[in-house]
Structure 1
């Protein structure tokens, strides 16, 4: 039947997301994308558009998959700011421990390659990071932090989240990553 896709578009997008996640935007060549998705160039371009468009769709898919988990962790009641950090970073540790996905974090890899992205990709990456920061700030406020402390803790937690992704890509053990997360959760208890 002419015009009907002979492949699972959602699965092809998931696979493309993994290529960008593993290699980053700069190293996710069209050859790697066709190999990773199992699609020919024509099908890849015909279905998803150019590389930048496919990247943005992949990043959107990533956010749709993982950001609800962060939202759920942050909207639960927390007795104190340390619990906010612990719950947020546990989502990160769970994702990192998942053997079915590449190491690290697609959003973090994308942020490290910010200059290589087109303007729409840059805006998307920054908007997603800012959204996570805003969610964190609100959770810290709900856990009793004042505005300044909530903003500081949100930025620190976001930075810890991103560093866990980088350390996981560098082969640090799950125990090392859990140590970082636990130490970060103790930060609010200090003056």
Structure 2
């Protein structure tokens, strides 16, 4: 007769995500996970596989938790450019906020730490970035169609520039003690939308 699990796998996955997010992949050992999750090593392996498997599951979970306000903001009817500006400013404010500075963005952290040498991780990071880029692109196309964005501007190139800016803001925001650095960069980038 199979034993029933004595823990909630979903809660354990959320807890693992939180630990990986705070410490990173390399700095988190299986012993750290066992202690943090309060689950025996054998149960952890049986439920999630090895540390990398658990990390990939945590990264997938993070992707499932995409900020629904982002989709709402960038796809609402009416003027689109103010929504794009609001999103860029929000990313800059979050990146500079004391509570967020320490942890940064899980996808951005993963991109810097693991994506260059792990193709499965790189695909997940790329999927996250494609989602954000698509939302920005759609909003910029609408802005152009509504006469808010000059015809000579390339919405796809602008969306890509904003994606790179937002990821850079997250990296600099995590490491910098000067919040003006990310705010100023965001405001300069937004001038390209005039």
TM range (shorter): 0.7 to 0.9
SS in 2 for 1:4: coil
Match of 2:76 in 1: 76
Larger Rg: 2
Say if 1:82 and 1:186, in contact at 8 Å, map to a contact too.
no
Q: In the TM superposition, what is the alpha-carbon distance from 1:176 to its structure 2 partner?
A: 4.5
2: CA distance between counterparts of 1:33 and 1:86? 37
- Closer/same/farther in 2, CA of residues 98 and 177 from structure 1, 3 Å limit: same
Say if 1:104 and 1:165, in contact at 8 Å, map to a contact too.
yes
Superimposed CA distance per residue, residues 124-153 of structure 1 (whole angstroms, 9 cap, x where no aligned partner): 221221222122111110111459621121
Match of 1:12 in 2: 12
2: CA distance between counterparts of 1:108 and 1:160? 12
1:155 aligns with 2:160: yes
2: CA distance between counterparts of 1:86 and 1:105? 18
Number of corresponding residues: 188
The alignment's C-alpha RMSD in Å is 3.0
2: CA distance between counterparts of 1:138 and 1:38? 44
Superimposed CA distance per residue, residues 149-185 of structure 1 (whole angstroms, 9 cap, x where no aligned partner): 2112111211121112112321435554444333333
> Which ranges of structure 2 fall in alignment gaps of 5 or more residues?
none
Say if 2:101 and 2:175, in contact at 8 Å, map to a contact too.
no
2: CA distance between counterparts of 1:106 and 1:40? 26
- Closer/same/farther in 2, CA of residues 157 and 100 from structure 1, 3 Å limit: closer
One of 175, 187, 191 as aligned partner of 1:186: 191
Match of 1:142 in 2: 142
SS in 1 for 2:24: helix
Superposition TM-score, scaled by structure 1 size: 0.80
Say if 2:141 and 2:155, in contact at 8 Å, map to a contact too.
yes
Superposition TM-score, scaled by structure 2 size: 0.79
Match of 1:39 in 2: 39
